[in-house]
Chain A
Amino acid sequence: MSKLARLLSILALFPALRLGVAQEEVYLKVTTPGVQRVVIALGELPLLAGGDPLVASRFLEALRSDLRQSAVMSLLSEEAARLVEVDPKNALLTRQRYRSVGAHFLLEGNLIASAGQLVAEVRLFDLASGEVAYSRRLQAAAPLAATMAHTLANELVRLLTGRTGPFLSRFAFISDRSGHKEVFLMRWDGSEVQQLTNHKSVALAPAWSPAGDWLVFTSFLSGRPQLYSLRPTEGFLKPISSLPGVNSSATLSPDGTRVAFAAGDGGNTDIYVVPVTGGTPERLTSSSAIETQPAWAPNGRQIVFTSSAAGSPQLYIMDVEGTNIRRLTFADTFADEAAWAPDGVRLAYTTLVEGRFQIAILDLRTMTRTVVAGPGNNESPCWSPDGSTLAFVSDRTGRHQIYVTDPEGIPRQLTSEGSNTSPAWVASVR
């Protein structure tokens, strides 16, 4: 065979190899495309006389936005809603008309916005049965009009699915948009970005307390990596660990009382655990290899971590006492950044495929592993608080950005300013 022919025959293998991994980039499919969501019609929600129309419209805008972005609900289209002739004297007839244009539920009620307060009295009619499926009086200070709408949208999702919706959830993440890596906060849809630290140093790897009242992260504020906790609502910074070593990769116990993290003297890095109230860190691992990236199991009893003991980074699991260490990954040349799904059964992690980072999901019951191939490098997976979707970091646009998968499992870019990494997702911030 001539040299050229050999080159061509080798090259001919490449498209086939690429097709082997480059399937459709679908992460977690919650809904199947084409399957209908529950259609909610926003009926009459008049503002009672003398109310502040600005407050009312902030509430309604936020509610409409949530309904449009929901995985399980959708807002009746404006075109369809325009076909409905509202008969103020015949509510039953009006509801029948909404049903005839495709709505499953009708939300109506009234708003009172006065004396710095917003009150929403709402009812949700099941248009099939004609019954009131939900009725609620919500009240909040006027500046919290949008938060009140997100609370209502969350309750509607809970009514329909039994799970709380994502509308109050937020990401902590790291962004260099200010010129340094700082901790930032944003809503689950990428809106309302807020800078939390201004250390002008390097901040890494934020992790939430389960209740969303504080964050723990690594900062080089002192010149060396140390672990700090921060209350987002107060901005109060407190040192958690200044052991020798990296003081990185914090993870919180599900009861919020303990922090596991990576540190260690003499070049070695092991997993330690310390009460959030302070005290002497207790060492859990003791190998001479690198142990890092602990992830506390939702059952509170186990910790998954990365170890280089086998020569390459691989995932291991141990009991919280540091005993019963077992290796979890064997099919990967590299496995790191494990993240527990809230169900305690699945782990998302970062693997390496053809020299690029990709997200893998390991089912611990069956020990089956699913690798999703996306463009560029895809890493740092984190689960939505309800476990239905994933967020991760990809450099597919040339810079690292945070993506979140939609209900069909397709990733959507959330950030675009600077480089944005290390997403940590929490149900709500207190």
Chain B
Amino acid sequence: MLRRLGNILVIAGLAAGALDLSACRRPKPVVAPELPPSGAATSAGAATAPTPLASTVREEPTVATAELPEGAVAAQELPADLAALNQAGYLADVYFDTNKHELRPDARQALAANASWLRAHRTVRILVEGHCDERNTEEYNLALGWRRAHAVKDYLVSLGVEASRIETLSLGEEKPFATCHEESCWWQNRRAHFVITAR
């Protein structure tokens, strides 16, 4: 009985948390995919979840540029096929807090690694897609996703990646990575997703 009450309280707490959108400073998983999968509904999302952020975060972005070969040379190391190149996971997606477009520390770390890789592969062009969870209305989310895509683009540009190589697109809540109706899916959908469009 006590356990059941506890569960109810947890649910009530989650509901209260969801209500208070403006105060969403609760800690977010930095290494996102380590969260336990929450059943069949999320498995589709889990399949498309990115490679663990931790592996990319450990790279030292600041040293990378000078030592790597010129873009044209580097491109030859990459898979020839764009689909395969995108599968290879060179660029880590970044995640956002509820209703926010500001970059979290884990996002900045991931983007530093992405910027370093992009500086080393100068012919690569990318599309940054801004995505949102299903909360908010569709059209507000379209604007929020646009904002997230540009927050990422602006940061990459500040790290020395040419703006002309970065396209942006908002998909709002239209193309979710995970489709359940709870936070275990929502955090996966609040993201900027990288697509390599030219090598």
**Chain A residues in contact with chain B, CB under 8 A?**
4, 7-8, 10-11, 14, 181, 202, 204-205, 218, 220, 223-225, 245-246, 248-249, 262, 264, 266-269, 290, 292-293, 306, 311-313, 333-334, 336-337, 350, 352, 354-355, 357, 379-380, 421-422
Contact = CB atoms under 8 A, between A and B. Distances in A.
Given A10-B9, A267-B101, A355-B19, A262 B174 contact: no
A268 B150 CA distance: 8
Contact of B139 (A181, A202, A293, A352): A293
B142 A311 contact: no
B150 A350 contact: no
A4 B2 contact: yes
A336 B136 contact: yes
Nearest to B12: A14
A267 B149 CA distance: 7
Nearest to A14: B12
A267 B21 contact: no
Given A7-B2, A336-B136, A355-B16, A181 B146 contact: no
A269 B143 CA distance: 6
B146 A267 contact: yes
B81 interface: no
12 contacts: A7-B6, A7-B9, A205-B139, A218-B142, A246-B146, A246-B172, A262-B139, A267-B151, A269-B146, A311-B22, A336-B136, A350-B137
Given A267-B168, A268-B147, A292 B139 contact: yes
A352 B150 contact: no
Contacts of B162: none
Interface string B24-56: 000000000000000000000000000000000
Nearest to B20: A333
Given A312-B21, A312-B99, A333-B20, A290 B143 contact: yes
Contacts of A290: 140, 143-144, 147
B22 A249 contact: no
Nearest to B15: A355
A422 B172 CA distance: 15
Interface residues of B, number: 36
Contacts of B8: 11
Interface string B142-181: 1110111111011000000000000011101010000000
Contact of B137 (A202, A246, A337, A355): A337
A184 B142 CA distance: 21
Nearest to B6: A7
A223 B197 CA distance: 13
A262 B21 contact: no
A350 to B, nearest CB: 6
Q: Which of A4, A7, A334 has the most CB of B within 10 A?
A: A334
Contacts of B147: 267-269, 290
Contacts, number: 101
B138 interface: yes
SS of A interface (majority): mixed
A102 B76 CA distance: 88
Given A7-B2, A352-B19, A225 B151 contact: no
B18 interface: yes
B84 interface: no
B5 A11 contact: yes
Given A311-B22, A422-B138, 13 more contacts: A204-B138, A220-B174, A245-B170, A248-B142, A262-B143, A266-B150, A267-B147, A292-B140, A293-B140, A312-B21, A334-B136, A336-B136, A355-B19
B143 A246 contact: yes
Contacts of B172: 246
Contacts of A264: 146
A216 B111 CA distance: 38
B180 to A, nearest CB: 12
A218 B170 CA distance: 13
A336 B142 CA distance: 13
Nearest to B17: A355
Contacts of B16: 355
Contacts of B18: 355
